[in-house]
Amino acid sequence: MVNFSLQGKVALVTGASYGIGFAIASAYAEAGATIVFNDIKQELVEKGLAAYREAGIEAHGYVCDVTDEKQVAAFVKQVTQEVGHINILVNNAGIIKRIPMCEMTAAEFRQVIDIDLNGPFIMAKSVIPDMIEQGGGKIINVCSMMSELGRETVSAYAAAKGGLKMLTKNIASEYGEYNIQCNGIGPGYIATPQTAPLRERQADGSRHPFDQFIIAKTPAARWGEASDLAGPAVFLASEASDFVNGHILYVDGGILAYIGKQP
């Protein structure tokens, strides 16, 4: 029988106070995992803990900056001592800066790379030694369609997510022999409170121009829901994916497979 259960597992999902990270962590909790998350500020951790409580989930929240090696090492040690060995790591924490490339400063570019690419590197190398000692583990990197595509104003984000795709493949290559599976999940355009204004009907009843663009480019003809990520995320964290390694699973309604409608 295929085993999708996460019973007895400790899952650390970075930046999971809200949004996609929260949705993934909630799915893991439903599958039986103990949830640990972090955020960069105490007030964000408190908001996250309140959201998990409201959802009936007992989560463990910590303050940690994923770009700070010393903080991450101390964080991982504390989680291991207080909650248990980390069996599943989801590198979800990330930012995007929508700035035309020639208007973006090198410092702004570096900040996106630091959080979206260096952060997963630091987190992964902090949990891998204990995963090896425990006989295996799962690392899931939250990639993006920008791991494959470019788009105006997201040069730093696309560079980071393209790098994260290759980091995923390299972790799989380097540590697969230790029963560690490292895969990526690539969300498409997901309906969240942050994207709600882009989906509001216009005064004349028509769709927002960006909404029209996404619907036209998506074979599923809709935005994704956070719940659409639950099954794929659980699969990649469970024994069901034990021979899946170095793969990026795009949950995008088919956008990457589609050239678009003829005008």
Is 157 one of the annotated active-site residues of the chain?
yes
CA distances from 167 to 119, 120, 164, 240 (A): 11, 9, 5, 22
Half-sphere exposure of 7 (CA within 13 A, CB side): 3
**Burial of residue 232 (number of CB atoms within 10 Å: 0-12, 13-18, 19+):** buried
CA distances from 196 to 21, 32, 136 (A): 18, 31, 40
Under 8 Å between Cβ of 74 and 81: no
Q: Which of 52, 62, 157, 189 is catalytic?
A: 157
What span, in angstroms and rounded, lies between the C-alpha atoms of 71 and 38?
11
d(CA 124, CA 116): 13
Distant-in-sequence, close-in-space partners of 84: CB < 8 Å, separation ≥ 6: 10, 34
CB 32 within 8 A of CB 26: no
Q: What is the DSSP letter of 255?
A: G
Q: Identify whether the C-beta of residue 222 lies closer than 8 Å to the C-beta of residue 199.
A: no
Amino acid 18 reads Y
Output Rg (C-alpha) for the chain, integer angstroms. Answer: 18
Query: Which residues have a catalytic role annotated?
Result: 157
